[in-house]
């Protein structure tokens, strides 16, 4: 089946359920997914590895342009490779979360990644998840959603996830880190984290993943009996 030429954006803070919802929705609707947070994490991982966190200007632009990385899927089973090395787990540490947020404030980083993201969206058939998908990268997206949840709920979700990955942080530490990262992502000058004016904001605190997916599907299909096939080009 060919993919409908549409773009759905899902933005929101850490722990809002973006990745899992994106993954499930993409499976259900037969669309590809684009995890832009993972792209910022790859850049942070590389700069950390090369001890180049202070790099700026043309040198930084060239370094990011030259990166050869692949991101496959979303959620816990996501695979991320750089030059053949599997870094799926290494980009998910609290250190890389912090650094990805710091590096995402740099214009050079945003500009190269924005170009890659728009190129990936050219063919449509995509659910793009991140912080600025509906506001900056795909302002004309067909459907825009912004997922949010209380800090306590989000911290608990992320804590569970980190424990499952074998990391040892307390819930308090996770909550504190998350609060600091939210603030940094919301207060930065370039493409700050905020809902697009035409996005549907969903508070996922009391919803299961399935309920959020259902809500998004009902918005897309306007409560009609239409199926996703009806969105396909004639």
Which one of 75-83, 98-106, 144-152, 155-163 is the stretch in contact with ligand DC (CB under 6 A)? 98-106
Which one of 33-41, 68-76, 157-165, 210-218 is the stretch in contact with ligand DC (CB under 6 A)? 33-41
**Cβ proximity to ligand DC, 108 vs 185, nearer residue:** 185
CA–CA distances in Å: residue 73 to residues 35, 154, 191: 8, 22, 24
Distance (Å, whole) CA 33 – CA 74: 7
Q: How many CA atoms are closer than 13 Å to the CA of 26, on its beta-carbon side?
A: 24
Q: How far is the CB of 209 from ligand DC (least distance, A)?
A: 16
Q: How far is the CB of 166 from ligand DC (least distance, A)?
A: 19
Torsion of CA 51, 45, 9, 184, to 10 degrees: -50
Give the helix ranges, DSSP H, for the chain.
18-29, 36-49, 57-65, 94-103, 107-121, 151-164, 171-187, 209-221
Round to the nearest angstrom and report the end-to-end CA distance of the chain.
Answer: 13
Distance (Å, whole) CA 119 – CA 170: 40
> Is residue 159 within the footprint of ligand DC (CB under 6 A)?
no
> Is residue 48 within the footprint of ligand DC (CB under 6 A)?
no
What angle, 0 to 180 degrees and rounded to 10, lies between the N-to-C axes of helices 171-187 and 151-164? 120
> Is residue 131 within the footprint of ligand DC (CB under 6 A)?
yes
> Is residue 132 within the footprint of ligand DC (CB under 6 A)?
yes
Q: Which residue do the tokens 């947020």 mark?
A: 101
Q: How far is the CB of 146 from ligand DC (least distance, A)?
A: 12
Question: How many residues line the site for ligand DC (CB under 6 A)?
Answer: 15
**Cβ proximity to ligand DC, 4 vs 37, nearer residue:** 37
> Is residue 23 within the footprint of ligand DC (CB under 6 A)?
no
Among 121, 130, 134, 195, binds ligand DC (CB under 6 A): 130
Binding to ligand DC by CB under 6 A, coded x per residue (else -) over 135-154, reads --------------------
Distance (Å, whole) CA 149 – CA 16: 6
Q: Which residues would be at the binding site for ligand DC (CB under 6 A)?
A: 14, 36-38, 40-41, 97, 100-101, 104, 130-132, 181, 185
């Amino acid at each position: 089946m060919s993919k409908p030429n549409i773009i759905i954006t899902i933005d929101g803070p850490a722990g809002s359920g973006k990745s899992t919802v994106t993954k499930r929705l993409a499976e259900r609707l037969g669309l590809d997914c684009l995890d832009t947070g993972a792209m910022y994490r790859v850049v942070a991982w590389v700069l950390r590895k090369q001890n180049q966190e202070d790099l700026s200007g043309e040198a930084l632009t060239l370094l990011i342009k030259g990166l050869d990385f692949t991101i496959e899927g979303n959620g816990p089973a996501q695979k991320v490779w750089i030059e053949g090395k599997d870094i799926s787990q290494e980009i998910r540490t609290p250190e890389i979360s912090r650094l990805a947020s710091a590096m995402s404030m740099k214009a050079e980083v945003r500009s190269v990644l924005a170009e890659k993201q728009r190129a990936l969206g050219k063919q449509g058939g995509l659910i793009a998840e991140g912080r600025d998908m509906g506001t900056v990268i795909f302002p004309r997206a067909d459907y825009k959603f912004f997922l949010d949840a209380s800090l306590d709920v989000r911290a608990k979700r992320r804590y569970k996830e980190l424990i499952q990955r074998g990391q040892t942080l307390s819930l308090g530490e996770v909550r504190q880190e998350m609060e600091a990262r939210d603030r940094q992502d919301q207060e930065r000058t370039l493409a700050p984290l905020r809902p697009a004016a035409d996005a549907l904001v969903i508070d996922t605190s009391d919803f299961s993943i399935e309920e959020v997916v259902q809500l998004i599907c009902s918005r897309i299909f306007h409560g009609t009996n239409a199926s996703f096939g009806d969105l396909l080009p004639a």
